[in-house]
Structure 1
Amino acid sequence: MTQAVVPHMRARGGGAIVHVSARPATEPTAGMTAYSLTKAALNNLVGVLDVELRPLGIRVNAVAPQLIATPKNAAMLPPEALAHAVASDAIAEVIAFLAGDAAAPVSGAVLPAYGA
């Protein structure tokens, strides 16, 4: 996706890319080996893309939820596991912030969104 949007952002003189990572990328989580490793790779990609794209005026960041409160997760997990789940609307607001002008000085960051 990044490869697809960069030429357009470059032509416009800049932009913002926001990826969605996850807490298991930085904190080992049993039973989530492949997921954790791919999200860890994504976190590193954010850093590499920041170095490569910031000179072009393109910011690259990520948001890293722990667990998102969705009907699917509610059906699969016990209520105590969802105690700190973050509403999808709240994650969307963090993404909108990172994509917006208010976050202009932020690039190369992975923002945790772990819930209360």
Structure 2
Amino acid sequence: MTAALFDLTGKTALVSGASRGIGESIARLLAAQGAHVLCSSRKLEGCEAVAASIRADGGSAEALAMHVGDAAAIEATFAALESAGKAPDILVNNAAANPYFGPMLDMDLGSYEKTVEVNLRGYFWSTVQAAKRMRAKGGGAIVNIASVNARRPAFGQGIYSMTKAGIVNMTEGFAKELAPHGIRINAVLPGLTDTKFASAITGNPKIMGMMMQLIPMARAAQPDEIAPAVLFLVSGAGSYVTGTTLTVDGGYLA
């Protein structure tokens, strides 16, 4: 009975930013629970390796290129999936950009625009494209990967934090609109996680020393510690959960 709550057999799940880190862990876990996983990122090669590894482990997966900073690419991807009968039942918006680390006053406009285009506009437009097709299918589940920075902006990550706060607000707004169509949408707020994306922090001993004083569990998370939160939210176990944020941060926001 308990295992059945997490069974995703017959579901198609699109995970953006699935070539490494948190996205890869999410893709692997959803596939392990029976979903056919569409591993996407801007560059196809990394996702092909992840999808091949999932298949080698007995799962079902394929790779596709989708740059979430390009609205036209998002539209084309979802249109092609629909034509192929693969419109996703599950969407995990995970791809993110953080091209600048430093004071907001010194940030150039190009870095600002890239951060907003990927983290906010990309999540929004991917959600719109997925939800329209989920509505036609009678339901679905969406999870947006935000960050603890949505609640507590971090020094050197001001604009990144701003976009993550926007993702939380967007999630709550969509939840009210999509619930009548059988579509649930939630956000996961990871804390510091040991990934290449977070290497500006995890690779800096001074910053890590300060972070360890702020995290009660005194360590960074591993990507596979974030993925189960996503599984809960997209599975039957989370059938009455929408518009919420699930924090996975070792106690940082406590």
Normalising by structure 2, what TM-score? 0.43
Please, which runs of 5 or more residues in structure 2 have no aligned partner? 1-125, 213-217
Once the two structures are superposed, the pairs formed by residues 35-50 of structure 1 within 5 Å of their partners are: 35-50=160-175
Q: Distance in 1 between matches of 2:202 and 2:179?
A: 41
Specify which of 85, 95, 98 is matched with residue 230 of structure 2: 95
Q: CA deviation at 1:71?
A: 4.9
Once the two structures are superposed, the pairs formed by residues 1-116 of structure 1 within 5 Å of their partners are: 1-71=126-196, 73=199, 76-78=203-205, 80=209, 81=211, 83-115=218-250
TM superposition outliers: structure 1 runs of 4+ over 6 Å:
none
Q: Distance in 1 between matches of 2:227 and 2:168?
A: 18
Contact 2:194 / 2:202 at 8 angstroms: preserved in 1?
no
Contact 1:9 / 1:58 at 8 angstroms: preserved in 2?
yes
Q: Which has the larger radius of gyration?
A: 2
Q: Distance in 2 between matches of 1:14 and 1:75?
A: 39
Letter in structure 2 aligned against 1:7:
K
Q: Distance in 1 between matches of 2:152 and 2:182?
A: 31
Please, which runs of 5 or more residues in structure 1 have no aligned partner? none
Q: Distance in 1 between matches of 2:184 and 2:242?
A: 5
Question: 2:226 aligns to what SS in structure 1?
Answer: helix
Contact 2:153 / 2:162 at 8 angstroms: preserved in 1?
no
Q: CA deviation at 1:30?
A: 1.6
Contact 1:84 / 1:114 at 8 angstroms: preserved in 2?
no
Highest relative contact order (Cα 8 Å, sep 6+), 1 or 2?
1
Q: Distance in 2 between matches of 1:71 and 1:55?
A: 39
Q: Distance in 1 between matches of 2:178 and 2:235?
A: 17
Q: CA deviation at 1:76?
A: 2.2
Letter in structure 2 aligned against 1:87:
Q
Contact 2:189 / 2:246 at 8 angstroms: preserved in 1?
yes
Q: Distance in 2 between matches of 1:63 and 1:85?
A: 16
Q: CA deviation at 1:75?
A: 5.8
Percent sequence identity over aligned pairs: 38
Aligned residues: 116
Question: 1:112 aligns to what SS in structure 2?
Answer: strand
Contact 2:175 / 2:243 at 8 angstroms: preserved in 1?
yes
Q: Root-mean-square deviation (CA), in Å? A: 1.8
